[in-house]
Amino acid sequence: MIKYLKEYRFYITLFLFLLIPVVALDTSSRAPRDYRFYDRVILAVTAPIQTLISWTLEQGVDLTQGYLYLWNVKQQNARLFEENRKLLGQIANLNEAQNENTRLRSILNFQEKMKLETIVARVIAKDVSTEFRAVRLNRGELAGIKKGMAVITYEGVVGRVLRVTDHTADVVTILDLLSAVDTVIERSRSRGVVEGLTDELCQLKFTLRTDDIQVGDTLLSSGLGGVFPRGVAVGSVSRVKKKQFGITQEVEVKPAVDFTKLEEVMIVLDQKAEVLEKPLPVKSEPKVEPKKKGAAA
Amino acid sequence: MRSIFLRFFNGPLFVLLVAVALAVQSSLFNSYPLWYFQPDFVLIAVIWCALRRTFTEGGILTLVFALLVETHSGAPRGLFLSIYMSIFLGIRVFSRFFVISQFASLLLVTLGAAIAWKILVLAFLAAFDLAGAQSYHFLITVLPFAGIEGLTGYWAYKALDAFDRSTTKSERSRQLIEDELLVEEGI
Protein backbone atom coordinates (compact mmCIF):
# COMPACT_ATOMS: atom_id res chain seq x y z
CA MET A 1 0.00 0.00 0.00
CA ILE A 2 2.72 2.44 1.02
CA LYS A 3 4.66 1.40 -2.04
CA TYR A 4 1.74 2.40 -4.27
CA LEU A 5 1.27 5.64 -2.39
CA LYS A 6 4.90 6.50 -2.97
CA GLU A 7 4.76 5.44 -6.58
CA TYR A 8 1.66 7.47 -7.38
CA ARG A 9 2.37 10.30 -4.97
CA PHE A 10 2.38 12.92 -7.72
CA TYR A 11 -0.98 11.82 -9.14
CA ILE A 12 -2.57 11.61 -5.71
CA THR A 13 -1.36 15.13 -4.88
CA LEU A 14 -2.56 16.41 -8.24
CA PHE A 15 -5.95 14.81 -7.67
CA LEU A 16 -6.21 16.48 -4.26
CA PHE A 17 -5.20 19.86 -5.69
CA LEU A 18 -7.99 19.55 -8.22
CA LEU A 19 -10.51 18.12 -5.82
CA ILE A 20 -10.24 20.72 -3.05
CA PRO A 21 -11.26 23.74 -5.19
CA VAL A 22 -14.05 21.79 -6.86
CA VAL A 23 -15.47 20.71 -3.49
CA ALA A 24 -15.17 24.25 -2.16
CA LEU A 25 -16.82 25.77 -5.22
CA ASP A 26 -20.25 26.89 -4.23
CA THR A 27 -21.34 29.51 -6.69
CA SER A 28 -24.78 28.03 -7.04
CA SER A 29 -25.60 29.19 -3.54
CA ARG A 30 -25.86 32.87 -2.76
CA ALA A 31 -25.83 32.26 0.96
CA PRO A 32 -23.07 34.32 2.51
CA ARG A 33 -20.06 32.45 3.77
CA ASP A 34 -19.43 32.81 7.48
CA TYR A 35 -15.99 33.43 8.80
CA ARG A 36 -14.33 30.30 10.08
CA PHE A 37 -11.63 30.12 12.73
CA TYR A 38 -8.78 30.52 10.25
CA ASP A 39 -10.53 33.44 8.55
CA ARG A 40 -10.68 35.24 11.88
CA VAL A 41 -6.99 34.57 12.48
CA ILE A 42 -6.16 36.01 9.05
CA LEU A 43 -8.34 39.06 9.68
CA ALA A 44 -6.77 39.61 13.09
CA VAL A 45 -3.53 40.17 11.18
CA THR A 46 -4.77 42.09 8.14
CA ALA A 47 -7.63 44.25 9.48
CA PRO A 48 -5.41 46.45 11.71
CA ILE A 49 -3.06 46.98 8.75
CA GLN A 50 -6.02 47.98 6.55
CA THR A 51 -7.26 50.38 9.23
CA LEU A 52 -3.79 51.86 9.65
CA ILE A 53 -3.26 52.36 5.91
CA SER A 54 -6.73 53.90 5.43
CA TRP A 55 -6.12 56.26 8.35
CA THR A 56 -2.66 57.22 7.09
CA LEU A 57 -3.98 57.87 3.59
CA GLU A 58 -6.80 59.97 4.96
CA GLN A 59 -4.42 62.02 7.08
CA GLY A 60 -2.07 62.39 4.12
CA VAL A 61 -4.85 63.64 1.86
CA ASP A 62 -6.11 66.03 4.55
CA LEU A 63 -2.60 67.34 5.11
CA THR A 64 -1.92 67.81 1.40
CA GLN A 65 -5.24 69.50 0.79
CA GLY A 66 -4.73 71.68 3.86
CA TYR A 67 -1.24 72.60 2.67
CA LEU A 68 -2.36 73.45 -0.85
CA TYR A 69 -5.22 75.49 0.49
CA LEU A 70 -2.95 77.35 2.86
CA TRP A 71 -0.48 77.96 0.08
CA ASN A 72 -3.19 79.57 -2.06
CA VAL A 73 -4.38 81.56 0.89
CA LYS A 74 -0.87 82.81 1.46
CA GLN A 75 -0.73 84.10 -2.12
CA GLN A 76 -4.00 85.92 -1.69
CA ASN A 77 -3.16 87.27 1.73
CA ALA A 78 -0.25 89.24 0.37
CA ARG A 79 -2.89 91.69 -0.81
CA LEU A 80 -4.98 91.64 2.33
CA PHE A 81 -4.79 93.02 5.88
CA GLU A 82 -3.17 91.03 8.68
CA GLU A 83 -6.49 90.45 10.33
CA ASN A 84 -8.00 88.93 7.23
CA ARG A 85 -4.99 86.67 6.84
CA LYS A 86 -5.51 85.32 10.34
CA LEU A 87 -9.18 84.71 9.67
CA LEU A 88 -8.47 82.90 6.43
CA GLY A 89 -5.98 80.75 8.22
CA GLN A 90 -8.63 79.82 10.72
CA ILE A 91 -11.06 79.05 7.92
CA ALA A 92 -8.49 76.78 6.32
CA ASN A 93 -8.07 74.91 9.58
CA LEU A 94 -11.79 74.64 10.07
CA ASN A 95 -12.58 73.70 6.50
CA GLU A 96 -12.04 69.99 6.87
CA ALA A 97 -13.87 69.91 10.19
CA GLN A 98 -16.76 71.74 8.55
CA ASN A 99 -16.91 69.24 5.71
CA GLU A 100 -16.95 66.40 8.16
CA ASN A 101 -19.63 68.13 10.21
CA THR A 102 -21.75 68.56 7.09
CA ARG A 103 -21.47 64.88 6.29
CA LEU A 104 -22.24 63.84 9.85
CA ARG A 105 -25.15 66.28 10.05
CA SER A 106 -26.60 64.78 6.89
CA ILE A 107 -26.35 61.37 8.48
CA LEU A 108 -27.99 62.66 11.68
CA ASN A 109 -30.78 64.35 9.75
CA PHE A 110 -31.36 61.15 7.83
CA GLN A 111 -31.43 59.14 11.05
CA GLU A 112 -33.95 61.51 12.60
CA LYS A 113 -36.08 61.64 9.47
CA MET A 114 -36.08 57.91 8.97
CA LYS A 115 -36.43 57.02 12.64
CA LEU A 116 -33.94 54.23 12.31
CA GLU A 117 -31.66 52.78 14.92
CA THR A 118 -28.31 52.86 13.23
CA ILE A 119 -24.61 53.02 13.92
CA VAL A 120 -22.05 54.80 11.79
CA ALA A 121 -18.97 53.01 10.44
CA ARG A 122 -16.10 53.93 8.16
CA VAL A 123 -15.02 52.10 5.01
CA ILE A 124 -11.47 50.83 5.48
CA ALA A 125 -10.95 48.53 2.49
CA LYS A 126 -12.45 47.30 -0.74
CA ASP A 127 -12.63 43.89 -2.32
CA VAL A 128 -9.25 42.56 -3.44
CA SER A 129 -10.76 41.71 -6.79
CA THR A 130 -12.22 44.32 -9.13
CA GLU A 131 -14.76 41.74 -10.31
CA PHE A 132 -16.56 41.80 -6.97
CA ARG A 133 -17.72 44.92 -5.16
CA ALA A 134 -17.64 44.31 -1.44
CA VAL A 135 -16.29 46.79 1.12
CA ARG A 136 -14.94 46.33 4.64
CA LEU A 137 -16.08 48.49 7.57
CA ASN A 138 -14.15 49.32 10.72
CA ARG A 139 -16.86 48.12 13.11
CA GLY A 140 -18.07 44.60 13.80
CA GLU A 141 -19.88 42.33 16.19
CA LEU A 142 -18.73 44.25 19.25
CA ALA A 143 -20.54 47.33 17.92
CA GLY A 144 -23.72 45.29 17.47
CA ILE A 145 -23.41 44.54 13.77
CA LYS A 146 -24.79 41.22 12.61
CA LYS A 147 -24.80 39.30 9.37
CA GLY A 148 -27.59 40.33 6.98
CA MET A 149 -28.09 43.85 8.34
CA ALA A 150 -28.83 46.63 5.89
CA VAL A 151 -26.16 49.23 5.18
CA ILE A 152 -27.24 52.67 3.96
CA THR A 153 -26.10 56.28 3.74
CA TYR A 154 -28.19 59.43 3.71
CA GLU A 155 -28.10 59.08 -0.10
CA GLY A 156 -29.58 55.59 -0.20
CA VAL A 157 -28.93 51.86 -0.02
CA VAL A 158 -25.31 50.67 0.06
CA GLY A 159 -25.72 46.93 0.57
CA ARG A 160 -26.00 44.29 3.24
CA VAL A 161 -23.59 42.82 5.77
CA LEU A 162 -22.10 39.64 4.38
CA ARG A 163 -20.09 38.51 7.40
CA VAL A 164 -18.64 39.98 10.57
CA THR A 165 -15.75 39.64 12.98
CA ASP A 166 -15.38 41.40 16.32
CA HIS A 167 -13.96 44.56 14.77
CA THR A 168 -14.81 44.44 11.07
CA ALA A 169 -17.78 43.80 8.82
CA ASP A 170 -17.81 42.92 5.11
CA VAL A 171 -20.60 44.51 3.11
CA VAL A 172 -21.70 43.28 -0.28
CA THR A 173 -22.75 46.42 -2.17
CA ILE A 174 -25.69 46.64 -4.54
CA LEU A 175 -23.18 46.87 -7.42
CA ASP A 176 -21.96 43.34 -6.69
CA LEU A 177 -22.94 40.50 -9.00
CA LEU A 178 -24.31 38.55 -6.04
CA SER A 179 -26.49 41.36 -4.71
CA ALA A 180 -30.26 41.61 -5.12
CA VAL A 181 -32.62 44.22 -3.65
CA ASP A 182 -36.38 44.11 -4.02
CA THR A 183 -37.54 47.56 -5.15
CA VAL A 184 -40.59 49.55 -6.11
CA ILE A 185 -40.70 52.46 -8.54
CA GLU A 186 -41.84 55.54 -6.65
CA ARG A 187 -44.01 56.97 -9.44
CA SER A 188 -45.70 53.94 -10.99
CA ARG A 189 -45.40 51.44 -8.10
CA SER A 190 -43.97 48.80 -10.46
CA ARG A 191 -41.79 46.26 -8.76
CA GLY A 192 -38.53 44.59 -9.64
CA VAL A 193 -35.26 43.30 -8.29
CA VAL A 194 -32.14 45.47 -8.54
CA GLU A 195 -28.99 43.46 -9.21
CA GLY A 196 -25.37 44.50 -9.71
CA LEU A 197 -24.23 45.00 -13.29
CA THR A 198 -21.03 47.07 -13.62
CA ASP A 199 -18.86 49.26 -11.39
CA GLU A 200 -21.32 52.11 -11.81
CA LEU A 201 -24.66 50.59 -12.76
CA CYS A 202 -27.23 48.09 -11.61
CA GLN A 203 -30.02 46.43 -13.55
CA LEU A 204 -33.68 46.14 -12.70
CA LYS A 205 -34.84 42.62 -13.34
CA PHE A 206 -38.19 40.84 -13.43
CA THR A 207 -40.12 43.86 -14.68
CA LEU A 208 -42.90 43.20 -17.15
CA ARG A 209 -42.75 44.75 -20.58
CA THR A 210 -46.04 46.48 -19.85
CA ASP A 211 -44.76 48.08 -16.63
CA ASP A 212 -44.66 51.87 -16.70
CA ILE A 213 -40.96 52.66 -16.30
CA GLN A 214 -39.33 55.85 -17.52
CA VAL A 215 -35.83 57.28 -17.44
CA GLY A 216 -35.39 59.30 -14.25
CA ASP A 217 -37.83 57.26 -12.17
CA THR A 218 -36.70 56.78 -8.58
CA LEU A 219 -36.47 53.30 -7.11
CA LEU A 220 -37.12 52.71 -3.44
CA SER A 221 -36.52 49.59 -1.39
CA SER A 222 -39.78 47.70 -0.97
CA GLY A 223 -38.98 46.23 2.42
CA LEU A 224 -39.64 42.69 1.22
CA GLY A 225 -37.23 40.15 2.59
CA GLY A 226 -36.77 42.03 5.83
CA VAL A 227 -33.22 43.18 5.11
CA PHE A 228 -33.67 46.73 3.85
CA PRO A 229 -36.09 49.17 5.47
CA ARG A 230 -38.97 50.20 3.25
CA GLY A 231 -38.67 53.43 1.28
CA VAL A 232 -34.91 54.01 1.18
CA ALA A 233 -33.68 55.27 -2.21
CA VAL A 234 -31.89 52.61 -4.24
CA GLY A 235 -31.27 54.50 -7.46
CA SER A 236 -32.80 56.07 -10.51
CA VAL A 237 -33.59 54.61 -13.91
CA SER A 238 -30.89 55.63 -16.38
CA ARG A 239 -31.91 53.59 -19.44
CA VAL A 240 -34.96 51.64 -20.58
CA LYS A 241 -34.88 49.27 -23.51
CA LYS A 242 -38.18 47.81 -24.62
CA LYS A 243 -38.15 45.19 -27.31
CA GLN A 244 -41.05 44.78 -29.70
CA PHE A 245 -41.64 41.28 -28.42
CA GLY A 246 -40.96 39.50 -25.17
CA ILE A 247 -42.19 39.48 -21.61
CA THR A 248 -39.69 41.73 -19.88
CA GLN A 249 -37.82 44.95 -20.55
CA GLU A 250 -34.19 45.88 -19.91
CA VAL A 251 -33.78 48.59 -17.31
CA GLU A 252 -30.50 50.07 -16.12
CA VAL A 253 -30.31 51.79 -12.77
CA LYS A 254 -27.83 54.37 -11.51
CA PRO A 255 -27.35 53.83 -7.77
CA ALA A 256 -28.37 56.66 -5.47
CA VAL A 257 -25.11 56.28 -3.57
CA ASP A 258 -21.87 57.51 -5.14
CA PHE A 259 -19.69 54.47 -4.50
CA THR A 260 -16.53 56.24 -5.65
CA LYS A 261 -16.78 58.57 -2.67
CA LEU A 262 -18.08 56.16 -0.06
CA GLU A 263 -16.50 57.00 3.29
CA GLU A 264 -19.03 56.67 6.08
CA VAL A 265 -22.05 54.40 6.15
CA MET A 266 -24.86 53.55 8.53
CA ILE A 267 -25.75 50.04 9.58
CA VAL A 268 -29.42 49.59 10.37
CA LEU A 269 -29.67 47.80 13.70
CA ASP A 270 -33.45 47.79 13.91
CA GLN A 271 -34.61 45.98 10.79
CA LYS A 272 -38.28 46.22 11.64
CA ALA A 273 -38.25 49.99 11.59
CA GLU A 274 -40.65 51.72 9.22
CA VAL A 275 -38.77 54.27 7.21
CA LEU A 276 -41.26 56.30 5.34
CA GLU A 277 -43.15 59.03 7.10
CA LYS A 278 -45.74 58.53 4.36
CA PRO A 279 -46.30 54.78 4.03
CA LEU A 280 -46.36 53.29 0.57
CA PRO A 281 -49.85 52.57 -0.76
CA VAL A 282 -50.57 48.86 -0.87
CA LYS A 283 -51.54 47.53 -4.28
CA SER A 284 -54.44 45.17 -4.48
CA GLU A 285 -52.95 43.14 -7.32
CA PRO A 286 -49.21 42.85 -7.45
CA LYS A 287 -47.96 43.12 -11.02
CA VAL A 288 -44.90 40.95 -10.80
CA GLU A 289 -43.84 38.24 -8.45
CA PRO A 290 -40.09 38.65 -8.63
CA LYS A 291 -38.00 35.51 -8.43
CA LYS A 292 -36.05 35.75 -5.21
CA LYS A 293 -32.32 35.32 -5.31
CA GLY A 294 -30.99 33.65 -2.19
CA ALA A 295 -30.89 35.50 1.05
CA ALA A 296 -30.81 38.96 -0.44
CA ALA A 297 -33.79 41.19 -0.01
CA MET B 1 21.46 24.73 12.03
CA ARG B 2 20.45 28.36 11.64
CA SER B 3 19.97 27.79 7.93
CA ILE B 4 17.63 24.87 8.52
CA PHE B 5 15.66 26.93 11.04
CA LEU B 6 15.28 29.81 8.59
CA ARG B 7 14.37 27.42 5.81
CA PHE B 8 11.69 25.85 7.98
CA PHE B 9 10.09 29.23 8.58
CA ASN B 10 10.20 30.25 4.93
CA GLY B 11 6.68 28.91 4.29
CA PRO B 12 4.89 30.55 7.26
CA LEU B 13 6.77 33.80 6.67
CA PHE B 14 5.81 33.71 3.01
CA VAL B 15 2.13 33.32 4.00
CA LEU B 16 2.42 36.21 6.45
CA LEU B 17 4.08 38.34 3.80
CA VAL B 18 1.26 37.66 1.34
CA ALA B 19 -1.37 38.41 4.03
CA VAL B 20 0.24 41.79 4.69
CA ALA B 21 0.49 42.44 0.93
CA LEU B 22 -3.24 41.67 0.61
CA ALA B 23 -4.07 44.12 3.38
CA VAL B 24 -2.03 46.79 1.61
CA GLN B 25 -3.61 45.93 -1.73
CA SER B 26 -7.17 46.21 -0.48
CA SER B 27 -6.67 49.44 1.48
CA LEU B 28 -4.02 51.35 -0.47
CA PHE B 29 -5.94 50.89 -3.72
CA ASN B 30 -9.23 51.58 -1.98
CA SER B 31 -9.99 54.84 -3.71
CA TYR B 32 -11.40 55.43 -7.18
CA PRO B 33 -9.91 55.27 -9.85
CA LEU B 34 -6.82 53.67 -8.26
CA TRP B 35 -9.02 50.64 -7.76
CA TYR B 36 -8.65 49.70 -11.42
CA PHE B 37 -4.87 49.71 -11.13
CA GLN B 38 -4.46 47.50 -8.12
CA PRO B 39 -1.94 44.70 -8.65
CA ASP B 40 -2.68 41.16 -7.54
CA PHE B 41 0.12 40.26 -5.15
CA VAL B 42 -1.31 36.79 -4.69
CA LEU B 43 -1.02 36.06 -8.40
CA ILE B 44 2.64 37.02 -8.25
CA ALA B 45 3.13 34.77 -5.23
CA VAL B 46 1.36 31.89 -7.01
CA ILE B 47 3.59 32.30 -10.08
CA TRP B 48 6.61 32.31 -7.77
CA CYS B 49 5.36 29.14 -6.09
CA ALA B 50 4.79 27.45 -9.45
CA LEU B 51 8.32 28.18 -10.62
CA ARG B 52 10.41 28.25 -7.48
CA ARG B 53 8.82 25.65 -5.22
CA THR B 54 8.25 21.91 -5.41
CA PHE B 55 4.91 20.70 -6.75
CA THR B 56 3.51 19.77 -3.34
CA GLU B 57 4.83 22.77 -1.42
CA GLY B 58 3.83 25.20 -4.16
CA GLY B 59 0.36 23.66 -4.43
CA ILE B 60 -0.28 23.85 -0.70
CA LEU B 61 0.93 27.45 -0.57
CA THR B 62 -1.34 28.28 -3.53
CA LEU B 63 -4.34 26.87 -1.68
CA VAL B 64 -3.45 28.89 1.44
CA PHE B 65 -3.02 32.08 -0.60
CA ALA B 66 -6.36 31.50 -2.34
CA LEU B 67 -8.02 31.11 1.07
CA LEU B 68 -6.47 34.42 2.13
CA VAL B 69 -8.00 36.09 -0.92
CA GLU B 70 -11.40 34.55 -0.25
CA THR B 71 -11.30 36.04 3.23
CA HIS B 72 -10.81 39.47 1.69
CA SER B 73 -13.40 39.20 -1.05
CA GLY B 74 -17.14 38.90 -1.45
CA ALA B 75 -16.65 36.35 -4.24
CA PRO B 76 -18.48 33.02 -4.14
CA ARG B 77 -16.79 30.36 -2.07
CA GLY B 78 -14.17 28.32 -3.91
CA LEU B 79 -13.93 30.63 -6.91
CA PHE B 80 -10.44 31.88 -6.14
CA LEU B 81 -9.31 28.44 -5.01
CA SER B 82 -10.20 27.13 -8.47
CA ILE B 83 -8.71 30.06 -10.37
CA TYR B 84 -5.39 30.24 -8.55
CA MET B 85 -4.98 26.47 -8.65
CA SER B 86 -5.66 26.53 -12.40
CA ILE B 87 -3.00 29.22 -12.81
CA PHE B 88 -0.56 27.25 -10.66
CA LEU B 89 -1.07 24.02 -12.59
CA GLY B 90 -1.06 25.86 -15.92
CA ILE B 91 2.32 27.45 -15.21
CA ARG B 92 3.71 24.11 -14.02
CA VAL B 93 2.68 22.54 -17.31
CA PHE B 94 3.94 25.56 -19.25
CA SER B 95 7.33 25.37 -17.53
CA ARG B 96 7.68 21.77 -18.69
CA PHE B 97 7.75 22.89 -22.29
CA PHE B 98 9.42 26.28 -22.00
CA VAL B 99 12.48 27.32 -20.07
CA ILE B 100 11.65 30.21 -17.73
CA SER B 101 15.05 30.91 -16.33
CA GLN B 102 15.50 34.58 -17.13
CA PHE B 103 13.93 37.46 -15.36
CA ALA B 104 12.43 38.80 -18.58
CA SER B 105 10.72 35.50 -19.33
CA LEU B 106 9.32 35.54 -15.79
CA LEU B 107 7.72 38.89 -16.52
CA LEU B 108 6.25 37.56 -19.75
CA VAL B 109 4.76 34.66 -17.81
CA THR B 110 3.30 37.21 -15.38
CA LEU B 111 1.66 39.17 -18.18
CA GLY B 112 0.23 35.97 -19.63
CA ALA B 113 -0.94 34.76 -16.23
CA ALA B 114 -2.64 38.10 -15.51
CA ILE B 115 -4.62 37.88 -18.75
CA ALA B 116 -5.38 34.20 -18.10
CA TRP B 117 -6.55 35.13 -14.59
CA LYS B 118 -9.07 37.62 -15.98
CA ILE B 119 -10.28 35.15 -18.59
CA LEU B 120 -10.70 32.45 -15.97
CA VAL B 121 -12.76 34.73 -13.72
CA LEU B 122 -14.98 35.59 -16.66
CA ALA B 123 -15.28 31.92 -17.64
CA PHE B 124 -16.17 30.80 -14.14
CA LEU B 125 -18.75 33.55 -13.72
CA ALA B 126 -20.24 32.77 -17.12
CA ALA B 127 -20.37 29.07 -16.27
CA PHE B 128 -22.48 29.85 -13.23
CA ASP B 129 -24.58 32.46 -15.03
CA LEU B 130 -23.16 35.32 -12.99
CA ALA B 131 -21.20 37.09 -15.70
CA GLY B 132 -23.71 39.90 -16.27
CA ALA B 133 -21.86 42.72 -17.99
CA GLN B 134 -18.47 41.37 -16.93
CA SER B 135 -17.24 41.01 -20.50
CA TYR B 136 -17.25 44.81 -20.74
CA HIS B 137 -15.51 45.04 -17.37
CA PHE B 138 -12.98 42.49 -18.61
CA LEU B 139 -12.20 44.55 -21.71
CA ILE B 140 -11.56 47.76 -19.83
CA THR B 141 -9.56 46.20 -16.99
CA VAL B 142 -7.53 43.43 -18.58
CA LEU B 143 -4.76 45.57 -20.08
CA PRO B 144 -4.25 47.92 -17.10
CA PHE B 145 -4.29 44.86 -14.85
CA ALA B 146 -1.71 42.96 -16.92
CA GLY B 147 0.47 46.06 -17.20
CA ILE B 148 0.41 46.86 -13.51
CA GLU B 149 0.96 43.20 -12.71
CA GLY B 150 4.07 43.09 -14.87
CA LEU B 151 5.34 46.33 -13.36
CA THR B 152 4.74 45.12 -9.82
CA GLY B 153 6.18 41.74 -10.70
CA TYR B 154 9.49 43.35 -11.63
CA TRP B 155 9.98 44.55 -8.05
CA ALA B 156 8.08 41.76 -6.32
CA TYR B 157 10.17 38.97 -7.86
CA LYS B 158 13.35 40.72 -6.81
CA ALA B 159 11.97 41.06 -3.29
CA LEU B 160 10.87 37.41 -3.25
CA ASP B 161 14.26 36.32 -4.50
CA ALA B 162 15.91 38.30 -1.72
CA PHE B 163 13.44 36.79 0.76
CA ASP B 164 14.27 33.28 -0.41
CA ARG B 165 17.96 33.99 -0.17
CA SER B 166 17.65 35.40 3.34
CA THR B 167 15.64 32.38 4.45
CA THR B 168 18.07 30.08 2.61
CA LYS B 169 15.38 28.84 0.27
CA SER B 170 17.03 29.56 -3.06
CA GLU B 171 18.67 26.81 -5.09
CA ARG B 172 22.11 28.04 -4.14
CA SER B 173 21.17 28.17 -0.47
CA ARG B 174 19.70 24.68 -0.61
CA GLN B 175 22.93 23.41 -2.06
CA LEU B 176 24.86 25.13 0.73
CA ILE B 177 22.64 23.51 3.38
CA GLU B 178 23.11 20.10 1.86
CA ASP B 179 26.86 20.63 1.80
CA GLU B 180 26.72 21.78 5.42
CA LEU B 181 24.82 18.64 6.44
CA LEU B 182 27.27 16.45 4.60
CA VAL B 183 30.13 18.11 6.47
CA GLU B 184 28.32 17.70 9.82
CA GLU B 185 27.71 14.06 9.10
CA GLY B 186 31.37 13.70 8.27
CA ILE B 187 30.80 12.56 4.71
Determine phi and psi for B162, rounding to 5 degrees: -65, -40
Indicate left, alpha or beta for B40 from its phi (over 0: left) and psi (-120 to 50: alpha).
beta
| Pairwise CA distance, residues B134 & B130, whole Å | 9
User: CA dist A233 to A42, A222, A274, Å?
Assistant: 35, 10, 14
Domain assignment present for B147: yes
Instruction: Identify the pLDDT of residue B15.
Output: 92
Give residue-wise pLDDT tens across range B50-65. Answer: 988 888 889 999 999 9
Identify all chain B residues contacting A130, using CB atoms and an 8 Å cutoff: 35-36, 38, 137, 141, 145
> How would residue A225 be classed by pLDDT, with cut points 50, 70 and 90?
confident
Domain assignment present for B35: no
| Pairwise CA distance, residues A49 & A43, whole Å | 10
Structural domain count of chain B: 1
Count of residues for chain A? 297
Task: Please choose, from the candidates A181, A157, A161, A158, the residue with its C-alpha nearest in 3D space to the C-alpha of residue A171.
Answer: A161
Evaluate if residue B66 carries a pLDDT over 70.
yes
Instruction: Identify the pLDDT of residue B177.
Output: 60
Average pLDDT over residues A10-28: 81
Instruction: Identify the pLDDT of residue A281.
Output: 43
Determine phi and psi for A145, rounding to 5 degrees: -80, 135
Alpha helix segments (H runs only) across chain B: 2-8, 10-28, 41-52, 55-71, 79-97, 103-127, 134-166, 171-184
Give residue-wise pLDDT tens across range A118-155. Answer: 888 989 888 888 788 889 999 999 999 998 899 998 88
Evaluate if residue A289 carries a pLDDT over 70.
no
Q: How far is A174 from chain B (nearest CA, A)?
A: 12
Domain assignment present for B34: no
Least confident of A190-199, A228-237, A282-291: A282-291
Average pLDDT over residues B156-172: 82
Write the DSSP symbol of residue B98: S
> How would residue A290 be classed by pLDDT, with cut points 50, 70 and 90?
very low
Instruction: Identify the pLDDT of residue A292.
Output: 44
Percent of chain A with pLDDT strictly greater than 70:
76
CB pair distance less than 8 Å for A26 and B145: no
Domain assignment present for B150: yes
Least confident of A13-17, A52-56, A212-216: A52-56
Domain assignment present for B90: yes
Of B20, B89, B133, the CB nearest to A198: B133
Average pLDDT over residues B131-156: 84
Burial class of residue B25, CB neighbours in 10 A (0-12, 13-18, 19+): buried
SS3 assignment, position B91: helix
Determine phi and psi for A160, rounding to 5 degrees: -135, 155
Instruction: Identify the pLDDT of residue A287.
Output: 42
Q: Between residues A159 and A72, which one has the greater pLDDT?
A: A159
Of the spans A22-26, A210-214, A236-240, B95-99, which averages the highest pLDDT?
A: A236-240
> A255 - beta bridge partners?
A235
Write the DSSP symbol of residue B170: S
Q: How far is B116 from chain A (nearest CA, A)?
A: 14
Instruction: Identify the pLDDT of residue A131.
Output: 80
User: CA dist A106 to A109, A226, B44, Å?
Assistant: 5, 25, 43
ipTM rounded to 2 decimals: 0.76
CB pair distance less than 8 Å for A21 and B78: yes
Domain assignment present for B77: yes
Instruction: Identify the pLDDT of residue A19.
Output: 87
Q: How many CB pairs under 8 A join A and B?
A: 167
Q: Which of B71, B82, B145, B152 to substitute to test the interface with A, most A CBs within 10 Å? A: B71
Q: Between residues A82 and A211, which one has the greater pLDDT?
A: A211
Domain assignment present for B117: yes
Nearest-by-CA chain A residue for B42: A128
Q: Is A36 on the interface with B (CB under 8 A)?
A: no
Instruction: Identify the pLDDT of residue A295.
Output: 41
Domain assignment present for B36: no
Residue B95 C-alpha from the chain's centroid:
15
Instruction: Identify the pLDDT of residue A282.
Output: 39
Domain coverage including residue B168: 2-29+41-184
